[in-house]
Structures are given as C-alpha cells and as structure tokens.
Amino acid sequence: MSMMQEKMYMDVDDVCAILGVSKTYAYSLMREYNKELKAKGYIVVSGKISTKFLAEKIYGMKVED
C-alpha cells in the first residue's frame, strides 16, 4: 500500500515527500486546505492534513472509505 492509503492524516514530511515541495510550501498548502475544511465544519489538527482530502485536492480523485 502507498503512504496515501495507509494513514488517515499526514504531516508536513509526508506532504513534502508526496508532492516534492519544500516544508514551507507544504505548510502553506496544509494551512490553506485545513482552513477550507474548517469552513465546512470539520475539525482540523494543526500540522496535519487529511489524507483523503489531500488526494481529492491534488489528484482530483474521490477516495472511498
């Protein structure tokens, strides 16, 4: 299984590895995406991002439970 299928949440190092971006940019994306989730009423954890939500935002795919 890939990293995106194993974890419910990813941290900045996971996002950097998957997207090949710097930690600064990964944190920026995570803040933006968590802000979007919070506006939709979801509980968010600072420094983490939902693996499913990231897959939907980055790859445009819906991930089933």
Q: Distance between CA 60 and CA 45 in Å, rounded? A: 22
Q: Is residue 38 part of a domain?
A: yes
Backbone angles phi, psi at 13, to 5 degrees: -65, -40
For residue 11, being part of any structural domain is answered with yes
Give a yes or no: residue 64 inside a domain.
no
Tell me what pLDDT residue 6 has: 78
Q: Give 1's pLDDT tier (boundaries 50, 70, 90).
A: very low
Supply the pLDDT for residue 32: 95
5-49 pLDDT, tens digit per residue, is 578 999 999 999 999 999 999 999 999 999 999 999 999 999 999
Q: What is the pTM of this model?
A: 0.77
- Domain-located, residue 18: yes
Residue 22 lies in a domain: yes
Number of structural domains found in the chain:
1
Residue 65 lies in a domain: no
Range of the domain at 11: 3-59
In a domain, 13, yes or no: yes
